[in-house]
Structure 1
Amino acid sequence: MPRVPHRRLLYNQWFTNPHTVVVQPTTWCNLDCSYCYLPLRKLKHRMSAEVAAVLARSVAGIATDDGPPIGVVWHGGEPLTVGVQHFAALLSPFEELREAGRVHHYVQTNATLITSAWCDLLDSYGVRVGVSIDGPQAKNGERVDLRGKPAFDRIMRGIGRLRERGIPFSVISVVTQNNMVAPEELLEFLTSLGCDSVGFNIEETEGANVGRQAPLAEQAEEFWRRTLTWCQRDGYKLKVREIERLAEYLRLIRDGEHERWGQRHLDPIPTVSFSGDVVLLSPELADTTDPAYGDFLVGNILRTPLAEIIDNAHRIGYVSEFMTGLNNCRARCPFFDFCRGAQAANRYFENGDLSTTETNHCRVSRQALVTALSTLATHEEGNSV
């Protein structure tokens, strides 16, 4: 029996078969948000139907019959800028897989371009919709178009069309230093939208977004403390992604099933660009130019199927470097059991090295959440004495 290389064993300890494939239908975006990390968002590259057909065959090679469906996440640029007909042409090669329950489509959109025709397409292909909006108008000021004009009214119009058609949607909100001071107002607004859930992306230093002041851990802890308090109210219905994750972790510990949490493997998250180029670990690494890391490219689906790319992931230098970082996190960080290790893109953009450990993203998105809950629990315990 051939000897299995150590790096393959280590990779298998950390990673599972992909559950998600992120796809870049276009680099272009019709907005120019202040904190955007996409370096090519003003270039109008778009994926061809031919590349999408090859991608569908590649996804078929990793979508097992007995496993969960692969989430094909269309995330740009702004995916809807390619137009209804072209987007339908990109989705069409996946139909056999979708009808067999082997893939689900997701699209992350700023909603400004949603029309009745878009609703028809999203509904007919069962596309699950995520909308990017940062809160009520006063908190959404950094989402502007290419002329610097606020996008809020257009986003709300798109959301209104989704609601009229009964198309469910989730929300992602970017939390900046400017809009994190009143989470209760933000949560009330998001609840009023009728979304299924919300994820809070606390602003990160990454990609093209390198010159702004990211929120501090103390600010984030206050944000999470007030968010947790709001979520404890009677009648609370909105699901907050980060709080749901923490609640699941605590529930497994309470039920004596902690090992189930630790046995979960990471998704290598292959991200496929408009041209078929592939990066691993973080979509934010796509279109990043760094000769030292080979621009993070691990192959192109026009030449190499995804299954083969994934099978050789343990040989990629930056993947090995990231695994070293994960081992360092596990050895050194008291938050590791919950967090499961700093994100690859944050290590790179903040520290310049994927083998490093703590990042500001760790501090504001994971550690501050846990310490906020601990502070609340201690306060409640003190009041009950």
Structure 2
Amino acid sequence: MSSQKGLNGLVLKIVSRCNINCSYCYMYNMGDESYRLLPKKMAGNVVDHIMERAARHCDEFEMKEFEFILHGGEPLLAGKSFFREFVEKAKKQFEKKQVRLRIGVQTNGILLDTEWCRLLNTLSVNIGISIDGPADRHDRYRKDHQLNGTHAKTLLGLHTAQLESCKIGVLSVMDASTDPQAMYNYFNQLNIDDLDFLWPDHNYEKLPALYQHQSPRPDYTPFGDWWIRLFDCWFADRFTRPRIRFLNQVVLMILGRDAGFESIGQEENRYLIVETDGSIEASDYLKACGDGFTKEGLNIERHELSEAFHTPLMKMHRQSHRMLSDTCRRCSIKEVCGGGHIAHRFGKDKGFANPSIYCFDLMKLLTHIQNKILDNLSAKTIREAGLAKMSYQDALRSINM
């Protein structure tokens, strides 16, 4: 067995088109036009190669679990027969290996009806639905191709999935101009138990509008301030508190358990993308760095998954929390932050050898959460865990600000 760790799973772009047109989408609206050259739908022979390669990968690394996340574009455009055949092929390949298989789909929810929900339940496919908050916020960015808002149709899909007792999670792209308390209340009212907010996909070449064309600075942290207010709402909620993945991960890491993932922590990133034509790529968020940026010439038909560990971009993505800028290496919170998401570090001058554009936001947020947690622990627990309070100013001094 290899000394390296195997992949936790694959994100499969089973379609390369979408039935809506979100303004912030890294697939279609951040400068990468490579989707135009891809098949609109993943062919059956590509699925066959995926199953064979993934099964061999599990053998090579003695994996006991593996995950497929069906993605797009809008994955439900692939059709019900694709999902039935995909799950059938997966079970046939993995059941005999005693590998626990997890399958999920990330959808905008518009096509979810009773028939779809019952099928996904029957196939044991978990459902992630993208909702960006109340209609005024969601419809600002998530429009169809006729520029109509999609909130009402998405909520109808969500409610249908809830009525059918589907296992549901909600993914929302955070908007630092919104009220975090109102957002928290909104999702609580929808009875969402599993929730996450994504940091917007920006880098040094595409700064957030809130920065007003200025570089990040320590006295202006709108994204960190938004997260702090959300955390305080969430932490104070003793009755209806949902799981918010990013906050759960931060709390666990502060308490000494590295449960990190692509955005934070010290763990390797152990997922890869497979496009509709079988191309193997690093994180799809990296499409925001430029046209064709993620293309490295590997394809599931010709290459084993472990070969992706050695291409420049996929290797950097896998080890991104260890391949840090000089500023990050000096930072006193790097064990939790991990330099942030690699896509947020990109700039044409230095490539990825930068702190995240959200560096100061993360620093302010993480020190706030640590201090809030310590306020709720006994002195004995704090002492035994070797924890200590750290202010935002203390963290800034560690990078010589």
Q: Could you list the runs of 5+ residues in structure 1 that have no partner in the other structure?
A: 1-7
- TM superposition shift of 1:119: 1.1
Deviation digits for residues 71-114 of structure 1 (CA, Å, limit 9, x no counterpart): 11111111011221223233332122454443211111110100
Counterparts of 2:376 and 2:150, CA distance in 1: 42
Match of 2:54 in 1: 59
Q: 1:21/1:258 Cα in 2 relative to 1: closer, same or farther (>3 Å)?
A: closer
Matches within 5 A, 1:201-280: 201-205=198-202, 210=206, 213=209, 218-231=221-234, 232-252=236-256, 265-280=267-282
User: 1:296 is paired with a residue of what secondary structure?
Assistant: coil
User: Would the aligned equivalents of 1:174 and 1:203 in 2 still touch at CA under 8 Å?
Assistant: yes
Report the alpha carbon displacement of residue 134 of structure 1 after superposing the two structures with TM: 0.8
How far apart in 2 are the matches of 1:266 and 1:139? Answer: 34
1:192 shift after superposition? 2.2
AA of the residue aligned to 1:147 = Q
Taking a change above 3 Å as real, the CA distance of residues 289 and 211 of structure 1, as seen in their structure-2 partners, is: closer
Q: Deviations over 1:203-231 (max 9, x none)?
A: 12269x94851567521222122112211
Maintained 8 Å contact 1:270/1:279:
yes
TM-score by length of 1: 0.80
In the superposition, relative to structure 1, how do residues 289 and 53 fare at CA in structure 2: closer, same or farther (>3 Å)? Answer: farther
Moved more, 121-130 or 151-160: 121-130
Matched, 1:103 2:118: no
Identity of aligned residues (%): 20
Alpha-carbon distance, 1:345 to partner: 2.4
The aligned residue for residue 186 of structure 1 is: 183
Q: Counterpart of 2:69 in 1: which secondary structure?
A: strand
- How far apart in 2 are the matches of 1:190 and 1:375? 26
Aligned partner of 1:356 among 353, 357, 371: 353
Q: 1:376 to 1:289 in 2, by over 3 A?
A: closer
Q: Is the Cα contact below 8 Å between 1:135 and 1:190 reproduced in 2?
A: yes
Residue 284 of structure 1 deviates from its aligned partner by 2.1
Q: Report if aligned partners of 1:342, 1:357 keep a CA contact under 8 Å in 2.
A: no
Would you say the 8 A contact 2:203–2:357 is kept in 1?
A: no
CA distance 1:37–1:319, shift in 2 (3 Å): closer
SS at match of 1:32: strand
C-alpha distance in 2 between matches for 1:165 and 1:258: 35
- In structure 2, relative to structure 1, the CA distance for the partners of 1:162 and 1:357 (3 Å cut) is same
- What's the CA shift string for 1:103-133, capped at 9, x where partnerless? 2111111101001221122112211111100
In structure 2, do the counterparts of structure 1 residues 353 and 301 end up closer, same or farther at CA, with 3 Å as the change threshold? farther
Aligned residue for 2:17, secondary structure, equals: coil
Q: Output the amino acid matched with 1:148.
A: L
8 Å contact kept, 2:103–2:125: yes
Equivalent-residue separation in structure 2 for 1:144 and 1:73 (angstroms): 24
Residues 98 and 191 (structure 1 numbering): CA distance in 2 closer, same or farther, change over 3 Å? farther
> Structure 1 residue 29 and structure 2 residue 18: aligned?
yes
Question: Which shifted more, 44-53 or 144-153?
Answer: 44-53
Kept in 2, the 8 Å contact 1:269–1:283? The answer is no
Contact 2:254–2:336, Cα closer than 8 Å, also in 1 = no
Following the alignment from structure 1 to structure 2, what is the Cα–Cα distance between the partners of residues 83 and 124? Answer: 15
SS at match of 2:83: helix
Whether contact under 8 Å (2:273, 2:281) holds in the other structure is yes
Q: Please, what is the CA RMSD of the aligned residues?
A: 3.5
Gaps in structure 2 of 5+ consecutive residues: 378-401
Residue 367 of structure 1: CA displacement?
2.6
Contact kept in structure 1, 2:112 and 2:157, CA below 8 Å? yes
SS at match of 2:63: coil
- Alignment correspondent of 2:77: 81
Moved more, 136-145 or 126-135: 136-145
| 2:170 partner SS | strand
Query: For residues 140 and 321 of structure 1, do their structure 2 counterparts lie closer, same or farther at Cα, with a shift above 3 Å needed?
Result: closer
2:117 to 107, 116, 119: 119
Distance in 2, Cα, partners of 1:263 & 1:247: 11
Question: Are the equivalent residues in 1 in contact too, given 2:108–2:131 (CA < 8 A)?
Answer: yes
Query: Following the alignment from structure 1 to structure 2, what is the Cα–Cα distance between the partners of residues 82 and 300?
Result: 21
CA distance in 2, matches of 1:130, 1:260: 20
The one of 366, 369, 385 aligned to 2:365 = 369
Could you tell me which amino acid in structure 2 is paired with residue 184 of structure 1?
A: Q
CA distance in 2, matches of 1:173, 1:275: 28
Is the partner of 2:21 in helix, strand or coil?
Answer: coil
